[in-house]
Amino acid sequence: MHFQGIYADEIVGKAYDRRLLWRFAGYLRPYLWLVGVVLCILPLTTAAKLAQPWLIKQAIDNHIVTGDLAGLPAIAAYFLLLILGESLLSFLEVWLLQYMGQRVMQDIRLELFSHVQRLSASFFDRTPSGSLVTRLTSDVEVLGEMFAAGIITVVGDFLLLAGIVGVMLWMNLQLSLVTFTVLPLLFWITFTFRRRMRGAFRQVRARLANLNTFISESISGVAVVQLFNRQRQEMEEFTRLNGSYRDANMPVITWDAALYAAVETLSSVAVGLLIWYGSGEILAGSLTFGALVAFIQYIEKFFAPIRDLSAKYSVMQGAMAALERLFNLLDCNEVLAEGGGERQIPPGPPLSRGEELPFIRFHDVWFAYNNDDYVLKGFGLEIRRGETIALVGESGGGKTTVTRLLSRLYDVSRGGIELDGSDLKTMPLQGLRRRIGIVLQDPYLFTGTVEENICLGDESVRPRVRGAAALVGAERFIEKLPAGYGEEVRERGSNFSVGERQLISFARAVAFDPEILVLDEATASVDSESERLIQEGLKGLMAGRTTLVVAHRLSTIRDADRIVVIHRGEKVEEGSHDELMAWGGVYYRLHQLQFREAGSGPGQSGR
């Protein structure tokens, strides 16, 4: 039902690890001192690990084999100190990395959330919310796993590997070369698995986003699902998506297990070669028993970080896939300009003596949500300051689009809009939207208190909350609540009726004291008594304000200064209620259909 391709999250194309990591390194710059501390710890940890097999060699060759046990307690004490030192340094290293990882994840989430808030409405029209939630939560968490796995400690692993190779070559060149014969095969396997795992992780991240989107949508619409008995179909779809996510994880598990098994096998082969060749060297007298034991210890320490590297590869490939998706979102440039652009509207016609400049002017506005499928076609309208203009017409005709363009949720495709003599595109968005108060048909309430929902946390607006609620008639039910204005609002205002939520949204618009008021089917969800109270409050609210009303219920806009009829994206009629009724055009027919007065004449209806 939900996912027939339209909601499928994209699988980002190939990106280079070096480029991704270099960009990610920019987030580490504020914490370079922590990186420096960790990098200073790594050589000390490496030294502690390298010294342990060497001490064992000394204990075997100089004391155990010779029977001189006098020096063994001192060597044992040094060995214990090395183990304790390694443990302490490892703890400090992991703690610092985890701390740095949490700070970096916090910074990335802040940047992502700030960027998402600036994206245009068109981006959200086609992007499922579950996909965005996945990127802001799960994908960022994968970066935390990368720090937990020790991305920076990879440097320490390479130090350890280089140190072991150096020590082994110094101790016995021939034995070292025999042992290292397995390395070319190891490098080939690692490189091959790396390419396979990246593609698998892309699938995992994309399918997780699909699953999250489905769950979010299903829970939000659970009432509809239950009322229409869609539980079985929803369960089938969830089973499909859940299975798809499981299947996407299987290649990751397979490649990860195979890589670990391959490293384990090569480690055992290296030890076998070491014992086979080393035994002959001992018998020939060119290698001591302690040196062979030390070599075995070094080989185990050599393959330990490589075994860890297989697990780190798994985490790193997941992190690379997550970084691709995060940077893809950050690179999305669908952000409306903040003003300062060039004026694109030609000057209006010359004003006659005493005529006032239009407060709002729509000039030859064309707009399409998708390509050339225009919702508005050459729309033009001039509104004087303080006027009340009603927009009517069939559903989908473009009425709401006019209000969205005025608020610059979208930019016009052609033409332009002027406010108080300034092209909207030249005005800062915050300044523009501060002048406009909007009440939508489907009111949205946030978790918090009733007071917080009216003032939206703006301290300058808080003193006007009660007056605004009184003006629109919301105080009559708010004051009956157990906590009054401090009553907690549940998610999406589920503990309030639709009418109550609408009254709160009315109070919100009033509290911000806008110059322009936009009412988009604002009374469609309230009962008749609430509507009567709102209409009384609106008389005071609309006084001195420019008001744009979108309405299907024509009874609510009879007192508008002008009524504009929009039909298939074009303005077809404009005038007062009485004028439009007298003309007997589109508005007249809409009125007759709504009030079922098809038999009355043009001059009789609505008088």
- The pLDDT tens digits for 411-456 are 888 888 988 888 888 888 888 888 888 888 777 888 888 998 898 8
Q: CB pairs under 8 A, 24+ apart, for 329-336? A: 329/112, 329/115, 329/116, 329/132, 329/135, 330/111, 330/112, 330/115, 332/115, 332/119, 332/123, 334/119, 334/120, 334/122, 334/123, 335/118, 335/119, 335/120, 336/120, 336/408, 336/411, 336/429
**Assigned token pair, 369:** 């949500």
Does residue 203 contact residue 11 with C-beta atoms inside 8 Å? yes
Q: What's residue 273's pLDDT? A: 81
Write out pLDDT tens, residues 243-293: 888 888 888 788 777 777 887 788 788 888 878 877 877 777 777 787 878
Q: Please give the C-alpha separations between residue 288 and each of 291, 388, 598, in angstroms, as whole numbers.
A: 5, 100, 112
Task: Determine the length of the chain.
Answer: 607
| Whether 213 contacts 7, CB under 8 Å | yes
pLDDT at 313 over 70: no
- As a whole number of angstroms, the distance between CA 417 and CA 406 comes to 7
Question: 534: closest CA among 516, 549, 515?
Answer: 549
Backbone angles phi, psi at 577, to 5 degrees: -55, -50
Whether 602 shows a pLDDT value over 90: the answer reads: no
Indicate yes or no: pTM above 0.85: no
Structure tokens belonging to residue 354: 């005493």
CA distance 357 to 455: 33
Q: What is the pLDDT of residue 20?
A: 81
Residues contacting residue 379 through CB under 8 Å, at least 6 positions apart = 362, 364, 365, 366, 398, 402, 415, 566, 569, 570, 571
Domain 17-330, architecture per CATH: Up-down Bundle (1.20)
Task: Return the closest-CA partner of residue 156 out of 79, 239, 49.
Answer: 49
Over 90: is that where the pLDDT of 172 sits? no
Find residue 564's DSSP bridge partners: 391, 574
What tokens does 89 get? 């340094």
Residue 490 exposed, middle or buried by CB count within 10 Å (0-12, 13-18, 19+): exposed
pLDDT at 4: 43
